[in-house]
Amino acid sequence: MPAGQTVVAADVGGTTTRVVLVSGDELRGRTSLPTVRGDGLGDALCTTIIDLLAREGVPQSQVAAVGVSIPGPLDIDRRRVVFTGNVSLADYALADHLEGALGLPVVLDDDANCAALGEAERGAAVGAQVAVLVVVGTGIGAGIVVHGGLFRGAHSVAGEIGHINLDPSGPPCSCGDRGCFEALASGPALAARGRAAARGAAAPVLSEIAGDNLEAIDALTVIEAASRGDAGAVAALEITGQYLARGVAAVANAFDPDVIVLGGGLGRTAVMLEWARRGVHEHCIAPISGLVRVETALLGDDAGLWGAGLLARGRGG
Ligand SMILES: [Zn+2]
C-alpha cells in the first residue's frame, strides 16, 4: 500500500473517540465523540467514518484501509478485543464488524503500540533503532518499536510492563498480584498517596485544594501542591518518582533502547521525566546507564492516530 494513500485512523479512548483521515502528511477532518461503551462501538465508529468521508468529499473507493487504536489486550491475530475494562468490551470482533459494514480492510492495535509507532515515526523517537514508549497514566504500559516495526511478542501482548513486580508486599494491582509497577507509580497510585497525606496534617496545601472532597485529588493536583512546597505532596511525589525510576530502569535494562519516551498524563510531566532519567542513570547497568536517553512524548493525543494511520498503510506491522 503506497505511503501517500488516504486512510482512516481512529483512536478509541476511555472517554473520547477520535477519527481522522490521514492524507499524505496531514490529519484531516478531525472528529471526536464520546466513546460508545459496549457492543454499540462498532456501529458508532462506522457511522462516524461514513459521515467523515461524506463531509470531506472523499469517496470510500479512495480509502485504502482503516486503522484503529484501542485499549488492549487484543487476540493473537489482532482482530478481536479480548477485554477492555474502560470501554466495556469483552471478546468483541471489532475488525470483522467494521470490515463487514464498510467494505474496507481494517487493522487494529492496542493504544500503546499505536502511540509508540507514531512517536517513532514523527515524534520523540525519530531516528531510533530501538524505542520504548512508556505510558504512565491511569495504568502503565509500553509499546516497543524495533527497526521501524512493532515488537509484539509471541502472543501479541508484549509491553505489559505495568506488571513488572517492584514490591511483593506492595498494594494490590488490577491483575490480582501485589506491588506491580502500575500499582506503585501510576496516576492513581500518586493520587492515593496524596489523599492519604491530605487526611493527616502534613499536607495543608493539598487539603486546601481538595476542600471537602478528597476524591477530587488526582496526580496533577499532587504535583501542583508539591510545587507550592506542600510537605505531604512532596513526599507522595518522591515515593512515586522512586518507583517510576526503578520501573523505567527495569525496562531500559531489558530492552537496551536508544530512547525511552514517556507518555501519558503523569508520564508527560517534567518531574517524572527527571525521575525517569535519574532511574536510568542510577539503576541501570553500564553502558545502558550512560547511553539510554529518556524524553517526553511529543505528539500528545495525536500519537495514536498517526500510529493507527501507519498501520492502515501497512507500515510498522
Ligand atoms: Zn499487576
Kindly state whether residue 107 falls inside one of the protein's structural domains. Answer: yes
Q: Are 143 and 221 contained in the same domain? A: yes
pTM score = 0.94
Cα of 180 vs centre of ligand 1, distance in Å, is 5
Cα of 166 vs centre of ligand 1, distance in Å, is 10
Kindly state whether residue 116 falls inside one of the protein's structural domains. Answer: no
Q: Are 89 and 157 contained in the same domain? A: no
Cα of 94 vs centre of ligand 1, distance in Å, is 26
Q: Are 162 and 288 contained in the same domain? A: yes
Q: Are 93 and 152 contained in the same domain? A: no
Residue 165 has pLDDT above 90, yes or no: yes
Cα of 185 vs centre of ligand 1, distance in Å, is 12
Q: Are 50 and 164 contained in the same domain? A: no
Tell me, rounded to whole angstroms, the distance of Cα 131 from its chain centroid: 14
Q: Are 79 and 184 contained in the same domain? A: no
Task: Please give the average per-residue pLDDT across 74-93, as a whole number.
Answer: 86
Q: Please tell me the least confidently modeled range out of 1-10, 168-177, 214-223, 239-248.
A: 1-10
Cα of 88 vs centre of ligand 1, distance in Å, is 19
Cα of 161 vs centre of ligand 1, distance in Å, is 9
Percent of the chain with pLDDT over 90: 86
Cα of 175 vs centre of ligand 1, distance in Å, is 4
Percent of the chain with pLDDT over 70: 99
What is the DSSP annotation of the chain?
--TTS-EEEEEE-SSEEEEEEEETTEEEEEEEEEPPPGGGHHHHHHHHHHHHHHHHT--GGG---EEEEE-SPBPTTSSSEEEEGGGTEEEE-HHHHHHHHH-S-EEEEEHHHHHHHHHHHHSTTTT-SEEEEEEESSSEEEEEEETTEE---TTS-TT-GGG-BS-TTS-B-TTS-BSBHHHHHSHHHHHHHHHHHHHSSS-HHHHHHHTT-GGG--HHHHHHHHHTT-HHHHHHHHHHHHHHHHHHHHHHHHH--SEEEEESTTTTSHHHHHHHHHHHHHHSPTTHHHH-EEEE-SSTTHHHHHHHHHHHTT---
Q: pLDDT digit string (tens) for 214-225?
A: 999 999 999 999
Q: pLDDT digit string (tens) for 247-272?
A: 999 999 999 999 999 999 999 999 99
What's the Cα-to-Cα distance from 93 to each of 16, 107, 114, 214, rounded to whole Å? 20, 12, 19, 40
Report residue 4's pLDDT band, with 50, 70 and 90 as the boundaries: low
Domain that holds residue 75: 7-111+301-312
Kindly state whether residue 2 falls inside one of the protein's structural domains. Answer: no
Kindly state whether residue 118 falls inside one of the protein's structural domains. Answer: no
Residue 54 sits in a domain whose CATH number is 3.30.420.40
Q: Are 211 and 224 contained in the same domain? A: yes
Q: Are 77 and 199 contained in the same domain? A: no
Q: Looking at residue 1, what is its pLDDT?
A: 44
Cα of 317 vs centre of ligand 1, distance in Å, is 27
